[in-house]
Amino acid sequence: MEELRRLIRDIPDFPKKGIIFKDITPLLADKDGFRAAIEVLSNRYMGSEVDKVVCVESRGFVIGAPMALKLGVGLAIVRKPGKLPHKTVETTYQLEYGTDTLTMHQDAISPGERVLIVDDVLATGGTAKATIDLVKKLRGEIIGLAFLIELTFLKGRDRLSGYELYAPIKY
Phi, psi of 147 (to 5 degrees): -130, 145
**C-beta neighbour count of 42 within 10 angstroms:** 21
Catalytic residue flag (residue 79): no
What residues contact 45, with CB distance under 8 A and at least 6 apart?
A: 67, 71, 116, 143, 144, 146
Catalytic residue flag (residue 139): no
Selecting among 5, 44, 59, 79, the annotated active-site residue is 59
Rg of the chain in Å (alpha carbons): 15
Query: With the C-alpha atoms ordered 16, 18, 24, 29, is the resulting torsion angle positive or negative?
Result: positive
What residues contact 167, with CB distance under 8 A and at least 6 apart?
A: 122, 146, 147, 148, 149, 150
Phi, psi of 116 (to 5 degrees): -110, 120
Q: Catalytic amino acids?
A: 59, 96
